[in-house]
Amino acid sequence: MGEALDELLGELRGHASARIVVLRGAGGHFCAGLDLTEVIAGTPEERLAAMQLRNRRVGARFEEISNLPQVVIAAVEGAAHAGGLGFLCCADIAFASADARLPRPRPGAAWSRRRSCPGWRGAWAAPMRRGWCWKAA
């Protein structure tokens, strides 16, 4: 799915007639994150290298979504956890159904305190990019 999404994002970047992009899931869920079977194979060193590569790719994907010239809308239903939360944060506008389930920030969690996950800056960068504010708090 990631490669197909990357290809679509590349097409959207130069697509002048597309003005809105809607991100939504299938099967009643927005996105619950990565397939956990991807993280259990290999030696500890191989798993670490795969995790670092995956995080860089996902961060670049979030950055690409944040920088699209179109207005990006997240239509959230069901679970929006992990990477799903990243997609939601990259959107300019988010609509959530009554059954949407989002994670609650844990006290001391790195991403909630310092925004340290690569590419997960969409929630505060989009208003700055649009000129609606000049500084993120």
CATH code at position 121: 3.90.226.10
Residue 10 included in any domain: no
Q: Please give the structure tokens belonging to residue 118.
A: 């690569």
Q: pLDDT tens for residues 10-35?
A: 888 888 788 999 998 888 888 877 77
- pLDDT > 70? residue 39: yes
Question: Residue 120: pLDDT above 80?
Answer: no
- Bridge partner residues of 96 (DSSP): 76
In a domain, 93, yes or no: yes
Segments forming the whole domain that contains residue 121: 18-129
Residue 89 carries which side chain, given as an amino acid letter? C
How many C-beta atoms surround the C-beta of residue 121 within 10 A? 20
DSSP annotation of 38 reads G
Strands (E), the chain: 20-24, 71-76, 93-96
Into how many domains does the chain fold? 1
Kindly state whether residue 103 falls inside one of the protein's structural domains.
yes
Task: Kindly state whether residue 12 falls inside one of the protein's structural domains.
Answer: no
pLDDT tens digits along 67-117: 888 899 999 888 888 888 888 888 999 888 888 888 776 665 554 434 444
Q: 33 lies in a domain?
A: yes
- Identify the pLDDT of residue 116: 41
- Give SS3 for 15: coil
- pLDDT of 114: 41
DSSP 8-state assignment for residue 17: T
